[in-house]
Amino acid sequence: MPRSKSCGPKSYGCFNCQRRTRQKDRYPIHKKYKSLLYKPTGRTPCETDSLCNRCRHMFDSILRRKDDKIKSSTSLQQPEEKVLHPSQQAPFSPPSVTLPFPCTTRGHSSCCLCKRPGPKLVVVPVDVRHRIFISHEIVIPAGARCCPNHLQRNIEKISPSAETTTVNRSYISQLIRFLRTEVLKTEKTRLSFDNSSHLIDSDYVDLLGIPKAAYDDLLKYVDGRVKSTPSRTVRTSLAIFLMKLRGGDSNKVLSTLFNISKSGIRRSIKVIRSALIDGNFVKENLGFQHITKEEIIHQHTRPLAQTLFGDNTQPQVILVLDGTYIYINKSSNFKFQRQSFSFHKGRQLVKPMVIVSTSGYFLSVLGPYFAKDNDASILTHIMRSNLEDIRNWVEEDDVFIVDRGFRDSLMYLEELGIQVKMPSFMEKGDKQLSTDAANTSRLVTKIRWVVESANARIKQWKYLSYILPSSQIPFIGDYVRIVCSICNRYLKPLASGSVEEDQALGAKMLFLSKQVNQLKEQVEEQHLDRRTVCWREVSEMVDFPQLDEERLRELTCGSYQLRLSPSYAQEHIEGGCTIHMHKEEEGLLRIRIQSRHISSMTYQLWIRYKDGDIVAWYCKCRAGARVVGMCAHTASIVWYLGYARHRCNPGRIGVRDWGEFLEDATAVDESEESDSSGDESPVEE
């Protein structure tokens, strides 16, 4: 009956050739063979190792030849023997030294790190053994084997088999050379992300755009998909990718900062991008399938948006859509050149479609699309193609907040049962929006601004704000999705506020949107805008009520108009134009102000005040008839008369005019030119 495999005798292999030997053919290894065995095997034999008969005879012949050479050389030279003083004699150096460092096993049958048995084991490379000694202070003998997956990720737990280790002179010299190389590499490297204490948290934010804790979390998504190389680790590769996106530095600059070749920089960017896109990071943080409608409604929707556009009986999904621009180089392919040219911007670009919630959370990024495609055609294509299963995710009565560029898609969206909120258009022949249209537009812009800020947050990653080369066009969508996923996971929301404040502001704006601008009716009925008046400078105004910042924000229903007010006031105080006023009646002020866009255009506005407060306003500009907030012209006058002139230094209003450091080519003194031409003397014959 044949003997089973598990019951067979234990096999003994030759230390040199690994051939299986019988008991009578096994010979113990003599001390004189140890120095010869290290070179072919890379290992130092122990007491239990043995040699086969053929290897023993081979090493005997090698030793005999060496002895013959030594004898022949000594017999020919026969130098005089000199007796050295003990202080002049070289110190004795044994072939092997015992060091107080723990070591692992050196066998081939099991892993030296986790003790797991074979058969699929690989020899631990020399650089890995040296790095483990630096990080864990554990020696792995030469020729030791481990599981292949240990080489693909950071090694954390190692269980040594002995408290001391015996190494020879060649290993010590090899280790010293490696340590010297690492020290020189550290001195040459400007940035190092491998050492957690080398950079502080603010350095991570400045260089990579995310805090240190976020960087460590992002590293988990690429750790198993990207391998370390002798020139860079996984941490360094991820840092290179984030610095490329955040700062937009060239590969040449990154090569200098990290002391890595430009080809290594390109490979790092490629493997990290593939790991983030093909892995779970983007899938878990972006796209219609990564989040439910209930989470969007309860976690990423402002109460202000629900108050203005939602249904009181049932919460709705309110999404804000807009396209952003990524500029590219001009292509030599004429067909693609025509398709990627934008007549609006006058440049070559592609257009990703960005969909965010009312808090600025990126729900999805679709595209990019050609520059010739407008926002309406892009949205229609998304809905008809059902990209990311959007038609099953979006239900009837959900709200899309868009700008006027989506007007051609309104009919199709209404057929799907989607409510669309868009700023109003002026009727043909009109010069001003009606009060209802201006109020409705203000409600939309109060919520729609968040998508503009979201697009600006994408461009804060400078690589996406630069002109990208044509070779990067296939990866533009990947870069934008990775940036949006990082913003969703690690950055604060763009819009936030307490529930009580949002609900109170929403109720106030809804109430005001249904009101009539009575001051406008008075101006039109009494033809106040046609009267010839005697204008005076606004500085003579004395009885205008004083206001604080909180009251100004209540009047404007936001902060955008207040941010423009200092610049408007600066142009009239320091510039060539002045703010003129006329008092129509007690408590009614008429103002004439310069347009900031067209130098030949001025606007007239009326402000009614009573009992120390502003009660009504009307401006002749395009959106000046609204009562939900006020236009920038009215806000600048109210800000200057009611706040700035009482609290601010007139010389510090606005932003410094940097034009004083530049030369104006049109400023030529014609008198000096005529004088110089008249002084020319006639040429004597």
In tens, the pLDDT along 425-451 reads 988 888 899 999 999 999 999 999 999
Task: Identify the CA nearest to 576 among candidates 602, 555, 553.
Answer: 602
Q: Are 574 and 566 in contact (CB under 8 A)?
A: no
The structural domains of the chain, ordered by start, are 8-70 (no CATH), 96-185 (no CATH), 189-279 (1.10.472), 284-427+437-503 (3.30.420.10), 515-658 (no CATH)
3-state SS, residue 145: strand
Q: Are 208 and 215 in contact (CB under 8 A)?
A: yes
d(CA 516, CA 382): 40
Average pLDDT over every residue of 460-486 = 96
Sign of CA dihedral 338, 340, 344, 347: negative
Worst-scoring range by mean pLDDT, 284-288, 310-314, 406-410, 472-476? 310-314
- Over pLDDT 70: what percentage of the chain? 88
Predicted confidence band at 93 (pLDDT cuts at 50, 70, 90)?
A: low
3-state SS, residue 200: coil
Average pLDDT over every residue of 106-112 = 82
Burial of 481: CB neighbours in 10 Å, binned 0-12, 13-18, 19+: buried
In tens, the pLDDT along 33-49 reads 777 776 677 677 887 78
Phi, psi of 335 (to 5 degrees): -65, -50
Burial of 565: CB neighbours in 10 Å, binned 0-12, 13-18, 19+: buried
Predicted confidence band at 662 (pLDDT cuts at 50, 70, 90)?
A: confident
In tens, the pLDDT along 599-631 reads 778 899 999 999 989 999 999 999 999 999 999
How many residues are given for the chain? 685
Q: Cβ of 507: how many Cβ atoms within 10 Å?
A: 13
| 109 pLDDT above the threshold of 50 | yes
DSSP sequence for 344-361 = TTTEEEEEEEEEEETT--
Average pLDDT over every residue of 76-89 = 49
Worst-scoring range by mean pLDDT, 52-56, 65-69, 367-371? 65-69
| 183 pLDDT above the threshold of 60 | yes
Query: What pLDDT sits at residue 81?
Result: 46
Q: Are 641 and 538 in contact (CB under 8 A)?
A: yes
Question: Can you list the pairs that 494-500 forms with residues at least 24 positions away whose Cβ atoms lie under 8 Å?
Answer: 494/359, 494/360, 494/450, 494/453, 494/454, 494/457, 495/302, 495/358, 495/359, 495/360, 495/450, 495/453, 496/302, 496/359, 497/302, 497/303, 497/304, 499/303
Query: What pLDDT sits at residue 22?
Result: 75
Task: Identify the CA nearest to 289 among candidates 397, 399, 390.
Answer: 390
Average pLDDT over every residue of 183-196 = 68
Query: What pLDDT sits at residue 179?
Result: 81
Worst-scoring range by mean pLDDT, 150-159, 266-275, 287-296? 150-159
Worst-scoring range by mean pLDDT, 140-149, 186-195, 316-325, 619-628? 186-195
Q: Are 293 and 259 in contact (CB under 8 A)?
A: no
Worst-scoring range by mean pLDDT, 371-375, 518-522, 546-550, 674-678? 674-678
Whole-angstrom CA distances from 151 to 148, 158, 196, 228, 365 are 6, 13, 21, 9, 36
Query: What pLDDT sits at residue 84?
Result: 47
Predicted confidence band at 672 (pLDDT cuts at 50, 70, 90)?
A: low
181: tokens are 């190389």
| 3 pLDDT above the threshold of 70 | no
Predicted confidence band at 679 (pLDDT cuts at 50, 70, 90)?
A: low
d(CA 194, CA 110): 30
Task: Identify the CA nearest to 447 among candidates 490, 502, 498, 392.
Answer: 502
Displacement of CA 283 from its chain's centroid (Å): 17
Average pLDDT over every residue of 60-68 = 77
* Highest mean predicted confidence (pLDDT) among 335-344, 526-535, 669-678: 335-344
| 87 pLDDT above the threshold of 60 | no
Q: What is the pTM of this model?
A: 0.71
d(CA 681, CA 83): 108
Sign of CA dihedral 228, 230, 235, 238: negative
Query: What pLDDT sits at residue 466?
Result: 95
Worst-scoring range by mean pLDDT, 6-20, 294-308, 584-598? 6-20
Query: What pLDDT sits at residue 242?
Result: 96
3-state SS, residue 362: strand
| 596 pLDDT above the threshold of 60 | yes
In tens, the pLDDT along 298-344 reads 999 999 999 999 887 788 899 999 999 999 999 999 999 999 999 99
Task: Identify the CA nearest to 33 among candidates 22, 24, 20, 43.
Answer: 43
DSSP sequence for 520-589 = HHHHHHHTGGG-----EEGGG---PPP--HHHHHHHHTSSHHHHHHHHHHHHHHHSS---EEEEEETTEE
Burial 98-127 (b: 16+ CB within 10 A, else e): eeebbbbbbeeebbbbeeeeeeebeebeee
Report the mean per-residue pLDDT for the chain.
85
Predicted confidence band at 4 (pLDDT cuts at 50, 70, 90)?
A: very low
Worst-scoring range by mean pLDDT, 56-70, 107-121, 446-460, 646-660? 646-660
DSSP sequence for 381-446 = HHHHHTGGGHHHHS-TT-EEE--GGGGGGHHHHHHTT-EEE-PPPPPTT-SS--HHHHHHHHHHHH
Predicted confidence band at 50 (pLDDT cuts at 50, 70, 90)?
A: confident
What single-letter amino acid sits at 170? S
511, containing H or E segment: helix 499-513
In tens, the pLDDT along 555-577 reads 999 888 888 888 888 877 776 66
Worst-scoring range by mean pLDDT, 68-82, 88-102, 378-392, 493-507? 68-82
Worst-scoring range by mean pLDDT, 18-27, 73-82, 115-124? 73-82
